[in-house]
Amino acid sequence: MEKHLLPADIERASMEIIRRELKEKGLYPAAENEAVVLRAIHATADFDYAKNLFFTPGAAEKGARALRAGADIVTDTNMARAGVSRPALARLGGEAHCYMADERVAAEAKARGVTRAVRAMRLAAEKHPGAVYAVGNAPTALLELCALMREGFRPALVVGVPVGFVNVVESKEQARRVCEECGVPAILAMGRKGGSTVAAAICNALLYAAAGMLDPEKR
Q: HEC states along the chain?
A: CCCCCCHHHHHHHHHHHHHHHHHHHCCCCCHHHHHHHHHHHHHHCCCCHHHHEEECCCHHHHHHHHHHCCCCEEECCHHHHHHCCHHHHHHHCCCEECCCCCHHHHHHHHHHCCCHHHHHHHHHHHHCCCCEEEECCCHHHHHHHHHHHHCCCCCCEEEECCCCCCCHHHHHHHHHHHHHHHCCCEEEECCCCCCHHHHHHHHHHHHHHHHCCCCHHHC
97 is catalytic: no
Active site residues: 42
